[in-house]
Amino acid sequence: MTTDQLLVTLLLALPIGGFALTALVGRRLYQRAWIIAVGAIVATWLIAMYLVYNTLFLNAYGAQGLHFTLYEWIPAGDFRIEANFAVDNLTAALLIVVCTVGMLVHVYSIGYMAHDPGRWRFFAYLNLFMFSMLLLVLADNFLLLFAAWELVGLSSYLLIGFWYGRRSAALAAKKAFLVNRVGDVGFALGIMAIWTTVGTLNFPEVFERIPLLAESGVIQPWQMTGLALLLFLGAVGKSAQFPLHVWLPDAMEGPTPVSALIHAATMVNAGVYMVARANPLFVQSPSAMWLIAGVGIFTAILAASIAFTQRDIKRVLAYSTLSQLGYMFAALGVGAFTAAIFHLMTHGFFKGLLFLGSGSVIHGVHDEQDMNRMGGLWRKMPITHITMLIGAIAIAGIPPLAGFFSKDEILGQAWKNGFVWVWAIGIVVALMTAFYMFRLMGKTFYGPSNVDPAVEPRVHESPRSMTVPLLLLAIPSAVLGVALGFPIGAGLIEQWMEPVFEGANEVLGRGQAEPFQVLGLDGFLAGASVAVAVLGVLAAMRLFGFRVPLLGLQAKPRPAVVERLTDRLRPLYTGSFHKWFFDDLNDLIFVRAGGLVARGLWWFDVHIIDGAVNGVAGLTQRSGRGLRHIQTGRVQNYALGIALSLIVVAVGYFVAGGR
Amino acid sequence: MSQSLDAYLVLASLLFCIGTFGFLARRNAIAMLMSIELMINAVNLVIVAFGAFTPELADRASVIALIVMAVAAAEATVGLAIVIAIYRNRRTPLVDEYHSMRE
């Protein structure tokens, strides 16, 4: 085993070891329950950065990346699955996000969870999650990916339901788990279909054979579409796309660091990662790609419209996450894989930042999440305010912050690849995103203070273990776009992702990207996205207030105008506020109608199935009770029985055989 | 020696019935063992009788009779040993007192 292989193994061993140790002895560490977990993740981060540096900058493992087998996992006749791992450019890009955000969230949690008696459990779960997520990005075959897929689902369930004493948290955890199962059924079927059609589950071999099999007609186009859609169903579940998007907003019941790490920056990206990883398969089916783009962009606009009216600060961010994930799927669907991964990375950082910032706000105003009971916090929480402002500008898509580059890349690619409708909806979503983010900023930081008067004097900036991660996340949120995406269309990210998506681009007929034209189509597209972003930001500033302390710029919020607008758009407002009634629809179809069917089956089970089983058992019992009277314990009774039976047999023999 | 096989068979049946009756009716374990011996000997008598009247069975019948005798001896030994062991324990030879294995 070479050093690099050992390091990859360590990358997995450290978090799972941290999980085991914290689970075993964490309770005894009291206040210091974080020490093992955070130590393990910091070490993991260092190793990951070394591997990323080797992969992306030194190109030490070649274009194919580092592949190796740790051991044979399932040796069952012809069905052989190895525990094999790979580090290539795509994995490295994911490692940057997963490990960096993961490490900062761990540090942040030291402060955020300081007063929680279950903190040792929290850190153990966080480490378990990190292990699962790293396994997910490192896995080199579909079955291992699926195992990791389920493991992240498990840790997500455990962490959403971390405060299981609260009924809403327990229900949200259950909901997340169940909705994810729906997607996982598709994913599992897809994997089985790959096994039967391709005959292997190892990524390199599958992706090598798929184009050949498609070309030679062994896999028909409709089969290919079916395969792609089954896998995509898994992605829809994990990445909370329409119609399985309902679990993610409820998942905000978990502690805020969890929302930042799992439900914004890493786990929900697993679907995007999986589709990007399986790109040679997806590009074989144009209709599946079309559907992915449609589902993605529809989720984007649906979620953005809901984010308009939510009052809970974390829910706004949750719908914003849905919306941005929708963007990523739209990008995958139009064939802009690089743009999707780029947006995944930038979004991971700025959404992680926004969530941690919202956690800091919630912490500061003593566990209040309703934005109508916040306001005027910019003076009391300066660091949180500045960092969240950076995050908000980044997500709104205003250059030169990170979100602009990745979002513009997606929209531009959509237009150029002939998906003008995706571009059109996307640009509307960009406008909405800018608006609702600055609505959130206005209501939280700038508007008049609606904080509970009892809490008001005690509102404070968060401890350093929370503000330092915010500051550290603000840096990539600000500069990652320029660093990776400039010059547009030929940035570092393009070079990194080129070997990964080479084959897919060939199938889709994409040549070398042309240089960016400021005065041509590129300039128009970029200008359009900046224009709508600025428009959205300005509109929100006018309505909900704004203030730049240093420059003395400020705008007063106008609640009266907001009120009037709301009244005029009452039906839209109601629909948006109630999340377009998807929860109620699900309740009607699955809980009520499904409940009736289930009750019928329950009756059948209790009366028919159990009746038959219990009937047989009862009959045996009753006959046994009757028959035990002949067991007298007297030898002569038995002997008489034997003698009589013998006579009967003998007589029977003579009567029957004597003829 | 009578020239009729039937006479031997009738005698054997009588012996067997006496044995069966004794086994079922007597309460004393020793008497029951003796009844078993009676039944075994009735069977042995039948075997020997068939052997005597059917030439092709002659030698085999004698061998079987000898084996039955050996088995009977062994059975009597083991049976008596058990009866004595139980007698030491229960202080009675009467089998209807031995009902601790009843349901």
User: Tens digit of pLDDT for each residue in A411-454?
Assistant: 888 888 888 899 999 999 999 999 899 888 888 888 788 877 87
Q: Give domain status of residue B33, yes or no.
A: yes
- Under 8 Å between Cβ of A529 and A408: yes
Sequence-separated (6 or more) residues with CB below 8 Å from residue A638: none
| Interface list for A 594-653 with B (CB within 8 A) | 628-629, 631-636, 639-640, 643
- Give the pLDDT confidence score for residue A177 in this predicted structure: 92
Q: Give domain status of residue B72, yes or no.
A: yes
How many whole angstroms separate alpha carbon A387 and alpha carbon B73?
104
CA A238, A244, A249, A255 torsion-angle sign: negative
* Structure ipTM: 0.74
What residues in B contact A636, CB-CB < 8 Å? 23-25, 27, 32, 95-96
Confidence band, pLDDT 50/70/90 cuts, at residue A400? confident
Q: Which 3 state secondary structure label does DSSP give A86? A: strand
Minimal Cβ distance to B96: which of A629, A634, A639: A634
What CATH number did the domain enclosing B33 receive? 1.10.287.3510
- Give the pLDDT confidence score for residue A516 in this predicted structure: 66
CA distance B99 to chain A (A): 5
Q: Give domain status of residue B101, yes or no.
A: no
Give the number of residues written for chain A. Answer: 659
What residues in A contact B25, CB-CB < 8 Å? 636
What number is the average pLDDT over the span A581-606? 88
Confidence band, pLDDT 50/70/90 cuts, at residue A235? very high
Minimal Cβ distance to B24: which of A629, A631, A640: A640
Sequence-separated (6 or more) residues with CB below 8 Å from residue A562: A543, A544
Amino acid code (one letter) for A587: D
- Give the pLDDT confidence score for residue A127 in this predicted structure: 93
Q: Give domain status of residue B103, yes or no.
A: no
Q: Does B100 touch chain A (CB under 8 A)?
A: yes
Q: Which of B11, B22, B15 is nearest to B40 (CA)?
A: B15
- Whether the upstream peptide bond of residue A487 has omega within 30° of 0, thus cis, is yes
Q: Give domain status of residue B68, yes or no.
A: yes
Confidence band, pLDDT 50/70/90 cuts, at residue B58? confident
Q: Give domain status of residue B27, yes or no.
A: yes
A580 DSSP 8-state letter = G
- Under 8 Å between Cβ of A350 and A395: yes
DSSP count for chain A of H helices, then E strands = 27, 4
User: Tens digit of pLDDT for each residue in A443-463?
Assistant: 888 878 887 787 778 888 888
- State the residue range of the domain holding B48: 5-96
How many whole angstroms separate alpha carbon A466 and alpha carbon A460?
12
Confidence band, pLDDT 50/70/90 cuts, at residue A583? confident
Structural tokens at position A458 = 């005690």
Distance from chain centroid for Cα A396? 21
Q: Which of B44, B26, B46 is nearest to B35 (CA)?
A: B26
Amino acid code (one letter) for A277: R
Q: Give domain status of residue B102, yes or no.
A: no
Q: Which of B62, B61, B27, B22 is nearest to B38 (CA)?
A: B22
Contact B102 A640 (CB under 8 A): no
User: Tens digit of pLDDT for each residue in A245-299?
Assistant: 888 888 888 888 998 888 888 899 999 999 999 999 998 888 999 999 999 999 9
Q: Can you give the pTM of this predicted structure?
A: 0.79
Contact B98 A635 (CB under 8 A): yes
Q: How far apart are the first and last CA of chain A?
A: 86
Give φ, ψ of A73 to 5 degrees.
-80, -55
What number is the average pLDDT over the span B63-77? 93
The tally of domains found in chain B comes to: 1
Q: Which 3 state secondary structure label does DSSP give A319? A: helix
What residues in B contact A634, CB-CB < 8 Å? 95-96, 98-99, 102
Q: Give domain status of residue B11, yes or no.
A: yes
- Under 8 Å between Cβ of A332 and A442: no
- Give the pLDDT confidence score for residue A584 in this predicted structure: 83
Structural tokens at position A51 = 């591997």
Confidence band, pLDDT 50/70/90 cuts, at residue A229? very high
The size of the A-B interface in CB pairs under 8 A is: 32
- E strands along A505-625, which residues? 546-548, 553-555
- Give the pLDDT confidence score for residue A610 in this predicted structure: 92
CA distance A642 to chain B (A): 11
CA dihedral A633, A638, A640, A645 (to 10 degrees): 150
Amino acid code (one letter) for A634: R
Provide, rounded to the nearest whole percent, the portion of chain A with pLDDT above 70: 97
- Under 8 Å between Cβ of B78 and B70: no
How many whole angstroms separate alpha carbon A287 and alpha carbon A215?
17
- Under 8 Å between Cβ of A292 and A326: no
Min mean pLDDT across A92-106, A282-296, A529-543, A571-585 is at A571-585
- Under 8 Å between Cβ of A282 and A275: yes
Confidence band, pLDDT 50/70/90 cuts, at residue A512? low
Minimal Cβ distance to B103: which of A628, A639, A640: A628
- Give the pLDDT confidence score for residue A511 in this predicted structure: 60
| Arithmetic mean of pLDDT over chain A | 87
How many whole angstroms separate alpha carbon A36 and alpha carbon A124?
9
- Give the pLDDT confidence score for residue B2 in this predicted structure: 60
Minimal Cβ distance to B103: which of A631, A635, A640: A631
Proportion of chain B in helix, strand, coil states, percent, rounded to 5: 85, 0, 15
- pLDDT over 60 (residue B1): no
Contact A636 B24 (CB under 8 A): yes
